[in-house]
Every structure is written in C-alpha cells, then in structure tokens.
Amino acid sequence: MAEYKNFTVETDADSIALVTWNMPDRSMNVFTEEVMDEFDRIIDRVVADGAIKGAVITSGKDSFSGGADLNMLKSHLGRFHTEKARDPEKAAKMLFDGAGRMTWLWRKLETSGKPWVAAINGTCMGGAFELSLACHGRVVADGDKVKLALPEVKVGIFPGAGGTQRVPRLADTQAALEMLTTGKTLTPKRAKQMGLVHEVVEPGKLIDAAKAMIAAGLKPVQPWDEKGFKIPGGPVYSAAGAMLWPPAIAILRRETYGNYPAAAAILKCVYEGLLVPFDTALRIEQRYFTEIMQTTEAAMMIRSLFVSLQELNKGARRPQGVEPVKFSKIGVLGAGFMGAGIAYVTAKAGIPVVLLDRDMPSAEKGKAHSESLISDAVKKGRAKPEDKDALLSLITPTDDYALLQGCDLVIEAVFEDSEVKKAATEKAEAVLPEAGIFASNTSTIPITALAKNSKRPEQFIGIHFFSPVDRMMLVEIILGKKTGDKALATAMDYVRAIGKTPIVVNDTRGFYVNRCVLRYMSEAYRMLIEGVPAPMIENAARMAGMPVGPLALTDETAIDLAQKIMRQTKRDLGDKAVDPAQMALIDTMVDTHGRHGRKNAKGFYDYPAKPAKKKLWPGLKDLYPQKRPEEVDVEELKQRFLVTIALEAARVMEEGIVTDPREADVGSILAFGFAPFTGGTLSYIDGMGVERFVALAKSLRKKFGDQFKAPKLVIDMAEKGETFYQRFDPYRKAAEKKAA
C-alpha cells in the first residue's frame, strides 16, 4: 500500500527529495483536508530525515493546482452556518481555526529548517500559489499556459493563507496591492519581474533547475525572517508610503464603491501587517479572513462565482444518459457580426466551421472578422502567428448549402426575420445529417415558433449568444416545446467546447437575460422622465454595482432597436404593454433628434472622435424639467435598479422559464454584470432576506409604480421564511432525478 494517496516522495542520489502532487481521479490538483494532512506528514518526514538536504514540490499533472477544492469550501461554510444557528461565538472560533489551517501549515514549511523549492509546471492559483510563496525558492516553466494568480477577491474573499503578507514582502507594495485587489493573473515573466519567482526555465529543465537551487546552498530562511529585512516598497510610515496609501484607498473606493468588503480587507491586512513581525501579521490576516468569510457578500459570491459557476461549466444541467458529442464540423448560417463571432470562437476551440452567407463576398467578410480578432491577439502577445494560421484554416466561407453536409450542429444567425430564418432552416435541413442538430441564435423570436419551420422539431434548439461573442462568457440555451434531450446535450457540449458557460432556459419572449436587461433600461427611462439628471442615473447604477450605466447600455445595443422592440411588443401584446411616456422618449430620441446610439455616434451619449471620450448628450436635460441633485435620493435610485431586475428574475422563476437558481444568478452576472457582490439576481433577494425584500419592493411600488409589484411566488416565500435556494434546491432536484 502506497504511503500517500495524493503524493509520491523520491529522494535522489544528491539527497534531494522530489515531492510530486498527483491526485488520483482528478484532472487538476486541489487542496482537500486529506491533501493537507498528507502534506503535513511529508514536511515532518523531510525534517526528520537527516539524509535529506531539501525538497522540491511539483505536480504530476499539466497544471500545478487550482487551489482549494470547492466541496471542502462548501463543507466549511455549511458547518459554520449550522453551528452559527446554535452558538455564533463557537461558529466564529471554528471558522477562525479552519481559516488558519493552511496559513500555519505553510508557515511550518518555511520555518522547517530545510530548503523547499516550488517547481511550478502549469497553472498555479490561490492557496497553491501561496504554498509556492512559502517555499524558499520558486522556479516556473516558461509557457503561454502557465498562469499564476491569487484570484480570491473575485469570489468575495482574499488570499488568506499568507498571500497578503508574502506578496508585499517580495514585490513593490503598489504592484502587490494591484495584484491582490484585482485578482490579476500573472505570466511567469511578469511574476519574475515583480520578484515573486526566482527563475523561469524551459519546461524540460524545471526539476533540474529546482534541484540545482538546493544543491547550490539555498538558504532555508525567508527574507522576512532575517535580521535587517527591508520591505521592497518601503515602510508604511515613509515618504514612499505617504505617496502610496492615500491614493490606494481612494482608487479602491472609486473602483468598488465600497461594495466589496474583501477588497477593503486586503488593504487593511497589508497596511497593518507591514507594521508588525511576520507571525503577528499572519494572525491579523487570519482574523480579517474570518471576518470576511462571515459576510453576506462572501457567502453569495462564493456560491455563485465559484461553486455554481464550476458546476454549470461541468455540465450540471446536461441530460443524463446521452453520449458526449465530439464535434467534427459546425455550420454557421449568416456571416454578419454575430455569425462571424460564432465562427471565430468555434475555430478558436479547434473545431472546423463552415461560415455561410448569401454570397461569397459576404461570407469572406465574415471570415475577415476572425482574421482581425486573431491579428489583434497576435499583436498584443496573446497569440502566436502560427495560431492565426491554424485558426483561419478552420473557417471555410461559402454560399453553398451543400458544404453543410457532415455538420454535427448548424447554428443559424441570419437577420432577425421569421421568413428569412424559415428559408435558412429549410435549406440547411435538406443537407444536414439525420442526427444533426439545428440551433437558432435568435434573441427575440420564440424557439417553439421557429421550430415549426423544421421537419424535426425535437432536434431544434436555441443557442443565444451575447455580443461581442468573443468576449461574452454566457450562452443561453433555449428549449422549444418539442426539443429533445439529444439536442440539449449537443448544445451544452458545444457551449462547453468553446469555453463558455451554458444556462438552460425555457421558451418565452426575451428569454431570461433580455427580460432583465429591458427592465434595467426601462427604469432608467422612467428616471429621465421624472427629471432625474442623467449623470445621477448613470452614476447611481455604477454605485449599485452595475458595470455599465443603463443609458450607455442602451446606446451599445442601439436606441432604434429599443424602438423596434417597443413597437413589436405593442403589436403583439397591445398598447398597454408599453409605457406611452417611455415610447415617446425613445421616439423623440430616434425620430426627432436622429440619435440611434453608438452606431451613429449619437445616442444618450455623444461619441466624438478618439482619443476624446464619450460624454452624456447635453440635450437630455432639455427633454424634461430637471430635479435638483439634492432632491434625488441616490440610495433609492440604486435600490430601484437592483430591485426591478431582481423582481423580473423572480417572475421568470415563477413562470418556470428558468428552473435552477444557479443559472439565474450566474447568468445575470456573466450576461450583463448584475452587481457581482450580491451573487446574482436571486442571491440578492436571498442575501437580503425575502421578507425584507418584499417590504422594500412594496415601498418602491407605492412611490414609483407597479413595476415593483412582487410576484405571488416571492410573497409566498416571505410568508414561509423560504429562500430561492431552498424552494428550488438544485441539488435535491438532481438527486431525485438520479434516483428516478
């Protein structure tokens, strides 16, 4: 029986131990309780064996490690919340001790008296990078796929295993703060420039270089444990510190609007930690980490942006019992902006793609879009010249439907017109293999209606991309009434193959994302009509946590498109379906002033020639009598934006359009940036408490209108004391489905 399950330890002729981390049945090494227990024993073994001069820690996989296991994190938080209900003080102590497990294990390693070198062969994230920082030497393989990062702030926490103390003792303080507060990923070269690693070598020489450091007499003492150690960026109380800290605090406030407690805690940890001895600094970090782990923001962000995101990316909603699809050829109908973008991300994933349009010049123009994107990536050093050739060789532009023969999947992205889509569907299905799946990228027309054009509606599905396709990470997969499991599984396999996150949505007008986005924009139009100054509208939205103001977002999607949607809605649902005052506003913008948005450089903003920046159109203040700033409650504006979107998400759940709260939350963040610190639309409600949310919605309804009317589902949940993750528990559903 092997001594360790997750590691092997081999000592060479030079008395250097090679510790190889290679977890069985895992594609990537992660930290679990078992892994840390074993590593603890390995440290003891290296220390106790007088024949061992030092040790090298490396990975037996392509990557080094992704950090902590999400199940371990879920388990920790679950135990904490259970205990908190019984004994809050005991729960906090339990969390404090748990937070310190990795901290003091890494401290044990760096004070063990034997030199340790981290030989980083691939991606090294979170706690794994903190482990490497605790080693006395760090050697990294040179390669495009090797990424180093402490990304914890992106999920509502921060590097709590010594990261906030070791990074600013190795790197310049300003660079350290930028890395820690943004979760920025470093290349090996950049990490070496910052002083975080010692050597960058060819992959084949990694282990030899690491062993050579020990053989050359690497000191088993960290710089901060030596007498006379000086902080690279200078002491906190110095001229350099005086130039750094006040602006750093201001910049953080500007970037986060105080919405991210973990980011603020990082500044506190670094500031306070640099004033005291290292062990005390680690204790300060541990206390702040324990405090942050108890925040609503951390709980919601960990759930949505770490746990749920990974689960969805692994195919949590994929039908069981359907064989995975290996794509040999994909067809894209329509080489316009969306179709060209879909072709690009498909080819980038290494899948051959046929890009079809009505004539060859149009199809060639679509391929040129991919050439432009990949050329830009090469210019910025994100791709190599050979990558460009490989990608472009996979895209075949054509005007001949016969070339779709042999496609596993065809994605229609033609003009948003039912008749045009009908013709494209019929022509494609005439040559599509019997098992081929047909998907529409429609953003407005119900999939069930489009499926009527198909001879095989069970193989017809919606795959809704967002613009620009190459940058947006979410894809909505829309089920028609007759869509079968094979179509759903194929769509999910495709979305995962191109490295995007799929959410599954049942058929309805606007699906999920657009329904929420339209509510966001609509509330901004109401504010304009009320006389709220446009700058306050945009600033309040950003203060609420939205990445783009609603007026700027309308410009990006086009004001005349908003006009078309409103008019079509009136035709389909009647005049009462659209607020006449909002219709008048949009008509005035488009028909009276010719302001269509960014595309004609005139919208709610003016778009002067670069390098000048866009600015709000001064004429907005002449459309309606303006309120004075002191008459406007900014906090109320923020609430209006978040509540109106969250209410629409709740309605979508009530209607059964989205059935899994994970998809509602992750989808809202990835698609339109719904205040990430809340964890998403439904976590915003759960985090606040459903009863409190209903009361807030009621007060806003009384003051601003029926758009804030809470649906019966939410009122019922409030009365029963439920949350969305209790009422629509995705894990219970999955277990029941599996049992059945």
For 574, the token pair is: 């009647």
Instruction: For residue 400, give the 3-state DSSP assignment.
Output: coil
Residues 165, 289: contact at Cβ < 8 Å?
no
* Unique residue bearing structure tokens 């008019």: 567
Q: 445 forms bridges with which residues in the sheet?
A: none
Closest CA to 709 of 632, 643, 635, 638: 643
Classify the C-alpha dihedral 443-368-560-622 as positive or negative. positive
In terms of Cβ atoms closer than 10 Å to its own Cβ (0-12, 13-18, 19+), residue 597 is: buried
Instruction: For residue 59, give the 3-state DSSP assignment.
Output: strand
Catalytic residue among 136, 198, 369, 464: 464
Q: How many residues does the chain have?
A: 740
Residues 223, 165: contact at Cβ < 8 Å?
no
For 252, the token pair is: 């953080």
Q: What is the crossing angle of helices 88-110 and 127-134, to 10°?
A: 40
Q: Which amino acid is at 360?
A: M
578: left (phi over 0), alpha (psi -120 to 50) or beta: beta
Q: Which amino acid is at 726?
A: Q
Closest CA to 142 of 209, 187, 100, 97: 187
Question: What is d(CA 407, CA 411) in angstroms, rounded to the nearest whole number?
Answer: 10
179 Cβ neighbours under 8 A, 6+ residues apart: 150, 167, 171, 186, 194
What is the Cα gyration radius of the chain? Answer: 28
* Unique residue bearing structure tokens 């008509």: 587
Q: 18 forms bridges with which residues in the sheet?
A: 10, 56
Q: Where are the alpha helices (DSSP H) in 68-218?
A: 70-86, 88-110, 127-134, 163-170, 173-182, 188-194, 206-215
352 Cβ neighbours under 8 A, 6+ residues apart: 328, 329, 330, 394, 396
729: left (phi over 0), alpha (psi -120 to 50) or beta: beta
Tell me whether residue 464 is one of the annotated catalytic residues. yes
Residues 419, 343: contact at Cβ < 8 Å?
no
For 204, the token pair is: 């084949």
Instruction: For residue 185, give the 3-state DSSP assignment.
Output: coil
For 464, the token pair is: 């809704």
379 Cβ neighbours under 8 A, 6+ residues apart: none
DSSP string, 513-563: HHHHHHHHHHHHHHHHHHT--HHHHHHHHHHTT-SS-HHHHHHHH-HHHHH
DSSP string, 614-669: PEE-GGGGGTSPPPPGGGS-HHHHHHHHHHHHHHHHHHHHHTTS---HHHHHHHHH
Vertex 177 angle, CA 174 and 179, to 5°: 110
Question: What is d(CA 39, CA 360) in angstroms, rounded to the nearest whole number?
Answer: 61
Q: Catalytic residues, which ones? A: 464
